[in-house]
Structure 1
Amino acid sequence: MSIDPTAEIHPSAVIDEGAVIGAGCKIGAFCAVGPDVRLGERVTLLSHVAVAGKTSIGDETTIWPFASIGQVPQDLKYRGEPTELVVGARNHIREHTTMSTGTVGGGGITRVGDGNLFMMSTHVAHDCIIGNNVIMANNATLAGHCVVEDFVVMGGLSAVHQHVRLGRGAMIGGLAGVVADVIPYGSVAGERAHLMGLNLVGLKRRATDRAQINELRGVFGELFSKEGTLQTRVEAVAQKHPDNPLIAEIIAFMTGETSRSFTQPPG
């Protein structure tokens, strides 16, 4: 066990031998920290938090009561292999959130970036890869092997099918069930989610160039028209709009490796 002398630990907390507790950490009442857990500097576990498995928590992350972090994956193929959960810095992990370690079949690591907000009762399953500045609202859930890029927002009670990718800046509406990849800056909604347009609000909030946004709006219609195949439309857009970084990002996403189809507009 390695506990920095500046850490504050409530006497009712249980810290297993082997755990590493960084400088300035605060561990509240009735928390449980497993033997293979590493807490960075100034991590706060408010109370009744369980951190297990081979799990590392980055600096200045705060975890609220009754969150369960680093438990074994909910995968019947898991046989106790030494897989990991890696959580970055400055995350806010609210009450009853669950995050699982990875599986051998998925690469062995569940990874969460920096500056994310996980609201109450959110779930990050095994082998998910989450970027930075992501927001998962109350009861939003990710199945295994999902990829969530930077600045994605998931509405309350939304759910994402395993192996689905959510592109950078995408917006997932509340109650939506997402079963196919969502393009960067896409906005989806519906019980079985459809692509409703672009997340223009998110783009504007990040001070994206207005001319680039306007060009992107035109490209959306080109990509998802009913003429030709999706592949030919993607190739045509790439040739017609070579200098817009937003469009280039969408093209790279749509031509990248995936096992899923793409979320399409309704009809």
Structure 2
Amino acid sequence: MAQIHPTALVDPRAELADDVVIGPYTVVGPQVRIGPGTTVGAHCVLDGRTTIGRDNRIYPFVSLGLPSQDKKYAGEPCELVIGDRNTIREYSTYHIGTVQGGGVTRLGNDNWMMAYTHLAHDCVVGNNTIFANNAQLAGHVQVGDWAILGGFTVVHQFVRIGAHAMTAMCALLFADVPPFVMAQGQPARARSMNYEGLRRRGFSATRIAAVKAMHKALYRQGLTLQQAQQRVVALAEQYPEAAADVALMSDFLAGVDAQRGIVR
């Protein structure tokens, strides 16, 4: 049976795997589902239509699955879905989605979420990301795989952060951050590409050269965004080994909102 501390309040309708651990004074609501190997610390609140996968570590004072702070939310049956092997540190708050945004807030697998992180309604976070302390996402934000958000990063609603991107401490994002880009400032500007992070993830010299070429097209050659997109697409023939990386950038740029644009 699940190891539930005597002071915890777990609704009998909640679905807990046999080896789940629930710490002291934690409250688990009736629509919560928790997978095998997950541990929940003391003084947590898990409520709403919340699904938590396997082998997650949830530290004390975390709040998951409460209604969004969107004033349009009217009690519709929306969800929070958390994948596997995530670490969620103290005082983090993740809300359910809204019908206007698809109804689901989603955190993927193998993410390292430090203290006081916030996922507002309808956010979608990929896999293997790192959110440093107090990284905050407004509603409808999308974060790609392997992205790193520095401490106190604040992201405006509907902004997208591409895979392998990185933000510096106290970055303030009003525009999309393309894949591989390092951004810093208030408002944030593109400073470079995340070359060292790519090396650590096993990117070859050829793939990194392709990323450098994409950086030049976006930021060094005075091109419009549309012109830069065309230049990026052409790089697939020049760097066939990096075709997937070029496609990642090209697909991201194709989805940029004309009014929001990208960090410059």
Shorter chain as denominator, the TM-score bin is over 0.9
In structure 2, the partner of 1:198 is 193
The answer to whether 1:253 aligns with 2:248 is: no
**1:100 Cα deviation after fit:** 0.1
Per-residue Cα deviation, 1:21-72 (whole angstroms, up to 9, x for no partner): 1121011100000000001111101111110100011101111111101110
User: What 5-or-longer segments of structure 2 have no aligned partner?
Assistant: none
Q: Distance in 1 between matches of 2:235 and 2:145?
A: 26
Bigger mean CA offset, 181-190 vs 232-241: 232-241
In 2, are the aligned partners of 1:224 and 1:230 still within 8 Å (CA)?
no
**Alpha carbons of 1:228 and 1:132: their partners in 2 closer, same or farther (altered >3 Å)?**
closer
In structure 1, what residue type is equivalent to 2:126?
G
In structure 1, what residue type is equivalent to 2:217?
E
In structure 2, what residue type is equivalent to 1:64?
Y
In structure 2, the partner of 1:169 is 164
1:108-127 matches, cutoff 5 A: 108-127=103-122
In structure 1, the partner of 2:48 is 53
1:1-267 matches, cutoff 5 A: 5=1, 7-225=2-220, 227-242=222-237, 243=240, 244=242, 245-256=244-255, 258=257, 260-264=260-264
Output the aligned Cα RMSD. 1.3
3-state secondary structure, aligned to 2:64? strand
**1:224 Cα deviation after fit:** 2.1
In 2, are the aligned partners of 1:102 and 1:108 still within 8 Å (CA)?
yes
Query: In percent, how many aligned pairs have the same letter?
Result: 41
3-state secondary structure, aligned to 2:50? strand
**1:258 Cα deviation after fit:** 4.0
Q: Distance in 2 between matches of 1:262 and 1:166?
A: 10
How many residue pairs align between the two structures? 259
TM-score (norm 1): 0.94
